[in-house]
A = this chain, B = another copy of it.
Amino acid sequence: MPSTVLPAAPTRGALRPLGLDEVDITGGFWARRRHINETVGLRHCRDWMERSGWTGNFRAAAEGRVQQDRQGREFADSEIYKLLEATAWQSASGSAPDVDVTALVGAVAAAQEPDGYLNTAFGRPGQPPRYSDLEWGHELYCYGHLIQAGVAEARARGGSGGELAEVARRAADHICATFGRGGIERVCGHPLIETALVELARLTGEERYLAQAALFVDRRGHGTLADGEFGRVYHQDDLPVREARALRGHAVRALYLAAGAVDVAVETGDEELLAAVVRQWEAGVARRTYVTGGMGSHHRDESFGDDFVLPPDRAYSETCAGVASVLLSWRLLLATGEPRFADLAERTLFNVVATSPAEHGRAFFYANTLHRRHRSAVPAPDTVSPGADPGLRAPWFAVSCCPTNVARTLAQLPAHLATADDHGIQLHQYADARIATSLTPGHAVALRIRTDYPADGTVVVRVDRSPSDRPWTVSLRVPAWTAGATSWLVEPDGTRRTVAPGTAEVTRVFRPGDEIRLELPVRPRWIGADPRVDAVRGAVAVQRGPRVYCAESVDLPDGLDVDAIRVDPAVDPRDGPDPAVDTVVVDGRLALYDPRSTAYDARRDEPWPYRPLDAPTAPPGSDRAEITLVPYHSWANRGPSTMRVWLPADDR
């Protein structure tokens, strides 16, 4: 019987997900990140929500004093739900996170009203009425996270779940009664309820939740929300989902909406709707995505920019947009089986999701800039960041959506590594891991994956369990980033062959102990951008495997800042001397500018930064230098620094 411990459990689709009881990450990059999340991150979030008063809002609501005592923004409830979801998935991997879930769930349940309504910011005496501000109130968005948490609780403990799942079902019934046909025929300003209701339908088998989700998807784009400063596009309310041509508007909203639309399309067999989302994803990836996989280039409204508007120094690339992108790509992968979706998920996981949390797990990036020009002051460890300063990670934010979103993503990550179908197992993401499942009843298989990916490109897949009498298939994603270099596959019999980007398959009657070896060309390479990405013209980046690298001022001599760097793309980048620290070395020049010139000085600097080309001046010169780069996700862990991903090519 297939696992039910699944973050997403579509009833149809090309691939079948594996559960958190079937996949275990046993070592390496993601095991370290998950360990920090389990032992530090979850508790960090819980403590800050206690301290900020957000958990107390539920108690205040139950006790009739929420009007005067409520703390936090209108969507603060959702943070508790995301923490509960994260805790559920983490516990499904066999750990016991140090967060008192029972008390939290009890407080949430006690705040639910008899008709199923649950939100601490609306509807009680002295508060705005229920659903009086669908544009900005986030009520249905909060339900979405509540339902996802309830589903997680049920799937993690089995059966129909416990108290939280029951709260979620009551909320969903209230939503169907309130927002069904003939009810409030509008949508929420922040999508999420769509994908949550579909997952609840999958859990419970209740078709009405799916029908309500489909209603929400089809209602959007018809202007049921008021127009505002950022335009209808901000809420994706400018065009119906089926008609839109690209991911657009507020990035997190756009990606959650797309995920919900995929879920509805899969469950209802709506190929037109699925194709519409794929088309938007394609356009968004081809023209509106940073080399890190980050999405959203506008700070003002946290939104996608126009095609090719991707300024590195003003990248918003919100952590939550990275999470949402991973969740969307995962759904598209399950629906279609196409490796391009796993390619983007990998890029986004390593370069956005992994970048947000500090190494110690107690501070987070909200925005993930690709270029930082000045050194930020270190935020005090006990202060809430009012905004999203992209220079240093902060322990908590006034709008603190990102920490809990990272937590729930890391907690469910093992489920994203592999899938199955009747004929075999498909490996999508590489990590040191164990996989054990049944392809069909009685056809149990187990794999042991050994790798130091992404530092190293060798992935060894050992078959630990296999039926002795029938062939099956191990599929391995050959990442798109290998294009132009050579990947090798070594079969159990020693046959060695090159494999192209896409999917490599080995089909045979496996014996326990059989090994498949995938050798991916993990070496640093220069990357260039489409010439229409104006903001990085004349600059190059370095990628090594799935990871984007950056220059950080702490690795430069003489107090120089990264804007002094000019690189020579004619010389290949190479691995740093110490394989333990994942650095890359490139050739170039430094000290193009006086290191003291980080602030304007009238005695040394030009008074106007533009000059006629027919009155040229000689550029300042300097000797050649070797410049050390580090993985982008690791930046800003060594104190205030300047940083850049795109490095100007030397034009001397």
B residues in contact with A286, CB < 8 Å: 600, 605-609
The reply to whether B387 and A230 contact each other, CB–CB distance below 8 Å, is yes
The reply to whether A648 and B531 contact each other, CB–CB distance below 8 Å, is yes
Assess whether A114 is interfacial by the CB under 8 Å rule: no
State which of B246, B314, B371, B600 has its C-beta within 8 Å of the C-beta of A283. B600
State which of B306, B312, B525 has its C-beta within 8 Å of the C-beta of A614. B525
Assess whether A349 is interfacial by the CB under 8 Å rule: no
Copies of the chain in the assembly: 2
A-B contact pairs, 22 of them (CB 8 A): A227-B386, A231-B387, A245-B600, A282-B607, A285-B608, A306-B374, A307-B374, A307-B598, A309-B314, A311-B311, A311-B314, A313-B534, A340-B607, A483-B611, A526-B612, A527-B612, A530-B609, A532-B563, A534-B646, A537-B537, A569-B613, A572-B614
The reply to whether A528 and B611 contact each other, CB–CB distance below 8 Å, is yes
Assess whether A540 is interfacial by the CB under 8 Å rule: yes
In the complex, chain A residues 577-606 whose Cβ is within 8 Å of any chain B Cβ: 592-593, 598-600, 602, 605-606
What is the interface size of chain A, counting residues whose CB is below 8 A from a CB of the partner?
A: 81
Assess whether A494 is interfacial by the CB under 8 Å rule: no
Bound CA–CA A599/B525 (angstroms): 30
A residues neighboring B (CB under 8 Å):
227-231, 245-246, 279, 282-283, 285-287, 289, 291, 297-300, 305-309, 311-314, 340, 371, 373-374, 386-387, 389, 398, 480, 483-485, 525-541, 543, 563, 569, 572, 592-593, 598-600, 602, 605-615, 619, 646, 648
| Least Cβ–Cβ distance between A78 and chain B, in angstroms | 19
State which of B279, B527, B563 has its C-beta within 8 Å of the C-beta of A613. B527
Bound CA–CA A533/B648 (angstroms): 11
The reply to whether B313 and A525 contact each other, CB–CB distance below 8 Å, is no
| Least Cβ–Cβ distance between A514 and chain B, in angstroms | 33
B residues in contact with A483, CB < 8 Å: 611-612, 615
Bound CA–CA A593/B389 (angstroms): 37
Given the interface pairs A528-B610, A602-B282, the reply to whether A386 lies near B229 with Cβ below 8 Å is yes
Residue on B nearest A484 in the bound complex, by CB: B615
